[in-house]
Amino acid sequence: MNTGRGVLDGVPRQLGEGEPRGRQIFRHLQQLVSGLRTGAELPSERIIAEHFGVARMTAREAVDHLVEAGWAERIPRRGTFVSHPRFVHTRHLASYDDDIRARGMTPGGHKVSSRVRKASRAVAAALEIEAGDPYLDLVRLRTADGEPMAVARSQLSIRRFPGIESVDFTSGSMHRELEARWRTRAAQHTQRIRAVVVSTADAALLGVAPGVPAFEMLGTSRDADGVVIEVGRSIYRADRYEVVLHTELPAVQSSVDDRMTASTTPDMLVSK
């Protein structure tokens, strides 16, 4: 059994005065896990207590704070494991690369496949083109600091973007390329989020087990005239993302009808 004792090497043992010991230990553990990979096993509460010379209850309090803050996850009968806090993706339109950089991380990834297909009726309806028209079916893996985050699938009309099948979308922002090459800029984006399980193919790309939970994000981007630019479908790891709902309530709730008018919208995606 891995006690995780060696993980604490280099972590100061001395605690200061004037602040609860559990809080100080929490900060030490927070700094420790920030340098560990997601899924790494943490020391047991007994080992933590021995390292800092405190009661086991104090060590448990520090680990509780770590779990509540999203830095760790307890798995029954297995132990406590690193689970980095989730970063926020607002519902406002922004490129994946810009969003990841804003969090102090390095965006990356690679192109999984790029194929020209003939639009079925369903695809044609989504892209608002004619059935049989050619479109680009692009699949990319998106990463943050080298860690797989999402599998992104994009469909774009080749008639609208002639030559797009020759563009190397290995890295960088696709929307930035569209703006630079075709003077097309996304002005609005409609997005739906569903809970799904990861397919075998996506699991291999994301480095997770097939069948684990995930978020499926279905989106349509349009330009200022309302013309479809892209139809997308992305699979985000549920162990790295969560959905936070922002609810706006009426100032005065005088009736059931008033309460029913309150709007609840997916406000953000948050990544651990």
The mean pLDDT of the chain is: 83
Q: Where are the domains of the chain?
A: 5-82, 87-241
Q: Output the pLDDT for position 256.
A: 46
Strands (E), the chain: 72-75, 79-82, 87-90, 107-118, 134-144, 147-157, 188-197, 213-222, 228-237, 241-248, 263-271
* Pick from 188, 92, 96, 102: nearest CA to 142: 96
Whether the pLDDT of residue 1 is over 70: the answer is no
Per the confidence metrics, is the pTM higher than 0.95?
A: no
CB contact at 8 A, 233 and 156: no
Phi, psi for residue 175 in degrees, rounded to 5: -65, -30
In tens, the pLDDT along 200-224 reads 999 999 998 999 999 999 999 999 9
User: Which pLDDT belongs to residue 261?
Assistant: 40
Topology (CATH) of 87-241: Chorismate lyase (3.40.1410)
The pLDDT value recorded for residue 245 is 65
Angle CA 140–144–146, to nearest 5:
85
Give the pLDDT band of residue 258 (cuts 50, 70, 90): very low
pLDDT of residue 34: 79
Which pLDDT score, from 0 to 100, does residue 262 have? 41
- Answer for the pair 170, 111: CB distance below 8 angstroms, yes or no: yes
Query: What is the distance between the alpha carbons of residues 201 and 195, in angstroms, rounded to a whole number?
Result: 17
As a whole number of angstroms, the distance between CA 221 and CA 190 comes to 7
Q: Is the pLDDT of residue 268 over 70?
A: no
Greater confidence, 32 or 198?
A: 198
Which of 81-90, 98-107, 117-126, 257-266 ranks highest by mean pLDDT? 117-126
Q: How many CB atoms lie within 10 A of CB 131?
A: 12
5-82 carries CATH number 1.10.10.10: yes
| In the predicted structure, residue 128 carries a pLDDT above the cut 70 | yes
Within 117-230, where are the H helices?
Answer: 121-127, 174-182, 200-206
Parallel, antiparallel, or unpaired: how do β-strands 134-144 and 213-222 relate?
unpaired
The model's pLDDT over 80-109, given as tens digits with 9 standing for 90+, comes to 888 865 555 445 545 777 777 776 778 888
Q: What's the rounded Cα separation, in Å, for the pair 218 and 194? A: 8
pLDDT per position as a tens digit, 42-58: 999 999 999 889 999 99
